[in-house]
Amino acid sequence: MKTMIAQLLHDTLDHAIDQATIEQLLEKPKHDELGDIAFPCFILAKQLRQSPVHIAKDLAEKLQDVRIKEVVANGPYVNFFLQPLPIANTIIPAIVSEGAAYATAPKNGKKVVVDYSSPNIAKPFSMGHLRSTVIGQAISNIAEKMGYEAVRINHLGDWGTQFGKLIVAYRLWGNPEAIRQQPIQELLKIYVKFHEEAEKDATLDEQARQAFKALEDGDAQALGLWKEFREASLLEFNEIYELLGVHFNSTNGEAFYNDKMDRVVEELEAKKLLTSSEGAQVVDLGETLPPCLIKKKDGATLYATRDLAAAIYRLENYAPEKLFYVVGGEQTLHFKQWFQVLDKLGYDASKFAHIPFGMMLKDGKKMSTRKGKIVLLANVLNETMEAAKQTILEKNPTLKNSDVVAKQVGIGAVLFNDLKNDRLNDIEFSIEQMLTFEGETGPYVQYTNARIHTLLEKADFKAHTTPLQAIDDTLWPLIKVLETFEATIARAYTQADPSQIAKFSLQLSRTINKFYGQQKVLTQDDTQQDRLTVLYAASIILEQCLNLLGIEAPAHM
């Protein structure tokens, strides 16, 4: 609708302002009685040397189109009242005929790399890891909807000084039999114990540094322990990913780049970018940022060195248009530093984007693996699935495949609770809030869709793409929401913000349920087929929204 009006204004104004700018300026009036779309004329005042009020009045008299019912000047605004039926017949038949493919851009032959999840080996997969995982998965899905090939990368934290700590902890307190039985739980236990003891014994940290240096130098015993920790962790991680429906094209972690960092150092030296600072090797970034550490004084590498090696590898192997790093906001400085180093090396740093997000909080505080204050994601998923099953048994005891639906609802509740939030906001962990079937939740959206399926089955509905006959005032708000779906996908991709999709699904669900309150759907009159067709189209879009967020859409609940 906005594109149509922007083109009309562009032509009427004799191209005095470009169409893209007009489309960006178009807005929704505060109240429905003021119109469907409004254009503010302030931007034209200087160019046309007239007041915005006069310009609005002049435009309102000139503008006309079969898709527009009325154009009204309201002060400095031009307000458009659209013809519901022509608009509906450009949208609904297309949704019905294309189904899940509706609003899917043709493949453009371009790739985007999405780096997400990236848990640390030998640590449990906690609720703190959820955000990167589900945001990255949704961004990948949205990118594919926009026509890109998404290369999904799980850059595992399988290297670094924490492994020196874990090796020392294992040698001092490790119980091989207990670790074989419950690898992650036991490794976490001794990791937490290391930090407790290190506060009393400062020599432990030095032992850990030496242990990690031995690991880097290829010590057989250290490497053997590291491989055991990695394999045990991956088994547990993959169980979580399977539950979440998350998949990757690559699980190359930090260790993969051990033999690729010398090249980075050599390139930095060749461009005379390395300087010495207290024995360490750094890249000076001027007054705006602290120096970027490349090598410690003992020769050990740092995260920046590894990230630079990974970035160059991905540029050369995938030739992507864009590379997204879905990593918490607390790492913003780190990314700014090595992005700038990448730029100094002559690589196209504009291709790289850090996608920060807020923290997952428990009782208002950050979850910490080091202090053992974590909530295990596996426990949460099991609890939400069980709670969803109990609710389903109470509300619909005869439901077939109740275990499958409980899984879809329970996991969907966890994912939606994260993705409905603005990415940068912190989230307070609460199972109770996730699972309610009312309000801004995944189960609410899923139930709204399932209710449509029930209505369609009762009416023995058969989909068709013939033009609709009538759109009354109760259906028109639903048409207007559906019309914005394609623009919402584009905005979610541009802003790397899946919450745009989640919020749209909530808006659509609320509009559907408001429609039920105003209009009885099954009335066996001449317009029942039109109502059912619009609801069928709404169901297609709701399911698309959920799928883009990585959430399943049960047909019955």
Going by C-alpha positions, the residue among 257, 248, 254, 239 that lies closest to residue 154 is 248
3-state helix, strand, coil in the chain (%, to 5): 55, 10, 30
CA separation for the pair 121, 380 (Å, rounded): 20
Distances (CA, A) of 480 to 211, 245, 289, 553: 62, 32, 47, 23
Element (H or E) spanning 112, and its range? strand 111-115
Burial of 381 (0-12, 13-18, 19+ CB in 10 A): buried
Contact 380, 354 (CB under 8 A): no
Can you read off the two tokens belonging to residue 26?
């178009």
What 3-state DSSP class applies to 354?
Answer: strand
Rounding to the nearest 10 degrees, give the CA dihedral for residues 224, 226, 228, 231.
Answer: -130
> Is residue 535 within 8 Å of residue 456, measured between CB atoms?
yes
Query: 532 exposed, middle or buried (CB, 10 Å; 0-12, 13-18, 19+)?
Result: buried
The DSSP string of 33-83 is GG-SEEEE-GGGHHHHTS-HHHHHHHHHHH---TTEEEEEEETTEEEEEE-
453: Cβ–Cβ under 8 A, 6 or more apart, which residues?
A: 539, 555, 556
Rounded to 5 degrees, φ, ψ at 111 are: -115, 145
Q: Which two three-digit tokens encode residue 136? A: 């990255």
Please give the single-letter amino acid code of residue 370: R
Cα gap 363→366, rounded to integer Å? 8
Residue 422 phi/psi, 5° resolution? -55, 135
Q: What's this model's pTM, rounded to 2 decimal places?
A: 0.91
Instruction: Answer whether 353's CB lies under 8 Å from 361's CB.
Output: no
CB 486 within 8 A of CB 545: no
Give the chain's domains with CATH numbers.
2-82 (3.30.1360.70), 377-548 (1.10.730.10)
Question: Looking at residue 129, what DSSP letter applies?
Answer: G
Q: Give CA–CA dist 155/164, Å, rounded.
A: 20
Which strands form 274-277's sheet, in the order they lie side by side? 274-277, 280-283, 292-295
Mean pLDDT, contiguous 10-residue spans, the chain (557 residues): 93 90 94 94 94 96 92 96 95 97 97 96 85 97 98 93 93 90 87 94 94 91 92 88 96 93 95 92 94 84 90 98 96 97 97 95 65 75 93 91 96 95 88 84 97 96 92 94 97 97 98 94 86 97 98 96
CB atoms within 10 A of CB 62: 12
Query: Residue 157 pairs with which residues in a beta bridge?
Result: 120
Rg of the Cα trace of the chain?
28
Query: Residue written as tokens 């254009």?
Result: 39
